[in-house]
Amino acid sequence: MNRINKLFKEKKDKILSIYFTAGYPNLNDTTEIIKILDECGVDLIEVGMPFSDPIADGPVIQHSSNVAIDNGMNLNLLFNQLDEIRKITDIPIVLMGYVNPVYQFGYEKFIKNILKCDLDGLILPDLPLDDYINEFKPIFDRENLSFIPLITPNTSEERIRQIDSNSNGFIYMVSSSSITGKKNSFDDKQIDYFQKISSLSLKNPTIIGFGISDKESFEQACKYSKGAIIGSKFIKEISNVNLNESIKNFILSVRS
């Protein structure tokens, strides 16, 4: 049982996942941010792999990606930074990014580095399910890694069930069909979508992402899933000068 499965077995609700872009705001902030998040008691950490064309992301994450790339962040450096991360934290850590940099890096080399760093899973929003099944799934199953798929309000029930049957960890339930960082509240249509997914009795738990920014939206999301992911708002917060204070105050504001 990997850390992600263990988390969902031991904690049944209000799982807080935090996303941030590696190499932002400064090149060597990655491990420090993880250390502070560990001290704050977050449940799951998603480390963004910077990419020049992050199609699913809004302006905040796009900007953080551009800054990180300008700072010199790349996959070789990121894996070097995460090489001894298990001396700092035992929280589940998932890498999130896009297919293009992974294939340029070499997917076998990429997975070897995930294993070397003792990370727990991967989110690639633009990786076709068939490609995952053919190229990644046998290795992920063998090494007990989690591939985290995304579903949206436009994903058919048939597709959702196919995704669910080929996944192991949790399902990232995108709250809307828009980019990250948009609204911070849910309308009736979104709530109907959340309730529909709950009624499917999927084998994997769900976490809601996109549009979660504060205590109110976090708790609302947790009514319809096991937890929620905060990304854009967190990245705004860590743009402040005092990284430690900014992170601790923000997590406290969500969890208080």
Q: Which burial class, exposed, middle or buried, applies to 231 when counting CB atoms under 10 A from its CB (0-12, 13-18, 19+)?
A: buried
CA distances from 59 to 39, 142, 180, 191, 205 (A): 29, 37, 8, 25, 29
> pTM to 2 decimals?
0.94
- Can you give the pLDDT at residue 181? 47
Query: How far apart, in whole angstroms, are the C-alpha atoms of residue 205 and residue 222?
Result: 12
**Mean pLDDT for the stretch of residues 92-112:** 94
Residues 6+ apart with CB under 8 A from 45: 17, 18, 20, 34, 37, 89, 91, 92, 93, 94
Domains of the chain: 3-255 (3.20.20.70)
Looking at the chain, the number of H-run helices and the number of E-run strands are 13, 9
Q: Is 164 a known active-site residue?
A: no
Catalytic residue chosen out of the listed positions 13, 29, 38, 57:
57
- The residue annotated as part of the active site, out of 43, 46, 120, 164, is 46
Q: Give the per-residue pLDDT at 94.
A: 98
245 catalytic residue (yes or no): no
